[in-house]
Every structure is written in C-alpha cells, then in structure tokens.
A and B are shown apart, each in its own frame.
Chain A
C-alpha cells in the first residue's frame, strides 16, 4: 500500500527558502503514470494546489506561485520535493503531498500524506 510522508523544517525565516520532501513508500515514484502534487492549507482557509511533477519528470505549477516554486523528484530516493523561495508569513500553512493515479482516470487525489506544518517567522 502506497504511503506518503512529508518532512522538512517546521520554521522558516522570512525571505528564505522553504524546502520540503515527500517520501513515497510501498511503490515506485518512477513507474506507472502518476502526478505527485504539493498542496497547502493556511490556518482557517481552504486548500491551495501548489504544483505537481509527473512520473516522466514534467511539472505544472499554480500561476499564483510559479515564480517562486520548484518541484522536483529524486528517483534514487523515491522522493519528490518542494522549494518555495522568498517566503513571507502568508506562506505559513499545513503542507501536504498527494498523488493522482492517471491510470485510474479519477483525476482525484487518492493518497495523501498527513501533512507538515510550516511557520514563517523570524
């Protein structure tokens, strides 16, 4: 059974880069056809899709964050990562990684990590 686990610093200083990793267990990040996404939820607000990387390595980003975001994968470690630069307090949120299985044609996130809380503060 595939599981996702987010990891990374819980506190980031303003103007610095937020870096998170999602470790995939129970399956390979580089086989099949999947979209691996990052999603966040600020306290008291709705979910916001940040972007995704496909099994092939291609990426898509939310235009609202595109200038500051990089999502990449490391097939040797079975992980994918998020880098968000020039952070401000508005980037404080619970960050989730999640999967879409293209073969299932559901177009929905069927597996999520439990989330990791990131606070931007000096």
Chain B
C-alpha cells in the first residue's frame, strides 16, 4: 500500500493568512493526488484533483502543486469558512489511501 503522510497535523492561523499543507507519498504517484475539505456533519468536498487542477466551484485561493512523492495544498488568504480539516488522497493505485488529515484552526 502507498502510505500518505500529511504535515502538519494541525495549524493555527488567522483570517487572511497564507496556509500551506504538505502531503508525501511513500512511493511515486505521478500527479494522481486529490485534496479534500471536510467539516463536521457535512459531506467532504473535493478541492483539487490531479495534484493541481481546481475542482469546479472551488475558490481560486485554493491551489495545489507537486508530482511524484511531494505535494502541497496552499490557501492564499484564509477565509472564515476555510477552518476545517484537509486530507490528501492518492489515486495512483489500489488500495486508494488517504493522509491523516490537517486541521486548520482559528488562531
């Protein structure tokens, strides 16, 4: 199985801050990486697919980059609705696997 390691596990930030979350795969996954946002009681939301493609309807302050084993999700200017947990997922091979999640909290 491909292990996905996210860091940090949590981050405290203020509205307007730039936030960067990293995800590392235990082996190369090309660009087959997705990022999700989840909030309690709500369906998880796809933000980024294929490492850097923005899902339709997702604000442009979200961006993704990377290929191979190292990936990042960046929120350029944190908004109040962005306080949530973010997870990465590799789609290169079965079994599909996720990172442990990063909780973005209010500072």
Binding site for B on A (CB under 8 A): 4, 37, 45-49, 60-64, 96, 98, 106-115
Given A45-B100, A106-B50: A113 and B95 within 8 A (CB)? no
* Chain B 14-45 interface mask (CB, 8 Å, partner A; 1/0): 00000000000000000010101000011111
Chain B residue nearest to A48 in the complex (CB): B98
* Chain B 75-96 interface mask (CB, 8 Å, partner A; 1/0): 0000000000001010100111
Q: Which A residues are in CB contact (< 8 Å) with B98?
A: 46-49
**Interchain CB contact under 8 A, B94 and A106:** no
Tell which of B34, B42, B43, B91 has the most Cβ of chain A within 10 Å: B43
**Interchain CB contact under 8 A, A63 and B95:** yes
**Interchain CB contact under 8 A, A107 and B50:** yes
C-alpha gap A61/B95 in the complex (Å): 7
